Amino acid sequence: DAGVIQSPRHEVTEMGQEVTLRCKPISGHNSLFWYRQTMMRGLELLIYFNNNVPIDDSGMPEDRFSAKMPNASFSTLKIQPSEPRDSAVYFCASSFVTGAEAFFGQGTRLTVV
Amino acid sequence: KQEVTQIPAALSVPEGENLVLNCSFTDSAIYNLQWFRQDPGKGLTSLLLIQSSQREQTSGRLNASLDKSSGRSTLYIAASQPGDSATYLCAVNWNAGNMLTFGGGTRLMVKP
């Protein structure tokens, strides 16, 4: 398996623009997670899906952030409108079953100017 | 509040040394704990997963231990090599949903 695949790897956008980050989890994994990493706050969980259903979105910072998982092999994280303080590395992770090892993608480095 | 702390934030050692990285957590009722490695500009690579019922896990030169009662885990690296230079992250899962809370990481440099 190719692992968790994220796209794009890098994204530079202007403030106010819509940004969509994409993730393909490992085939067969039923849990998917979006994390954000910044120098100031480290790694933080944004949202967690189980069997394509959002279970916990308490980490989503604002209504400008939204995430979807239309099927077991694809998820998106959207920021609309984007702001400079959204600049960070966004990671997607998946795991096979509850309590199993989590596998991370390579991340998307987002820069909002 | 459930928090994870890693001390020190940075560590530099000469090649060949055995070393211990520390992780502490505030609530002992954990589900499991996972150690990751992160190279600069890269994603996280899973190193070891310890379930709450386990005391330790080993993989090659790496050994992770878990002491829930004291709220601590250690990652032991034997015979360190320059290739071990990276940031090591500890993450705790406090519920069955596998939502991880991360420590701030320890940035390790192994000098040749």
| Residues in chain A closer than 8 A to B96 (CB atoms) | 98-99
pLDDT tier at A1, thresholds 50, 70, 90: low
- Dump pLDDT digits (tens) for A15-60: 999 999 999 999 999 999 999 999 999 999 999 999 999 999 999 9
pLDDT tier at B68, thresholds 50, 70, 90: very high
Residue of A nearest to B40 (CA): A106
Q: Where are the beta strands (DSSP E) in chain B?
A: 4-7, 10-14, 19-25, 32-38, 44-51, 56-59, 62-67, 72-77, 86-93, 100-102, 106-111
Taking only residues 37 to 66 of chain B, the set having a beta carbon closer than 8 angstroms to any beta carbon of chain A reads 41-46, 49, 51
The arithmetic mean of pLDDT across residues B93-104, rounded, is 87
The arithmetic mean of pLDDT across residues B3-26, rounded, is 96
Q: What is the pLDDT of residue B48?
A: 97
- Neighbouring-strand partners of residue A37: A43, A89
- Neighbouring-strand partners of residue A95: A31, A102
| Residues in chain A closer than 8 A to B54 (CB atoms) | none
| Residues in chain B closer than 8 A to A21 (CB atoms) | none
Residue type, B30: I
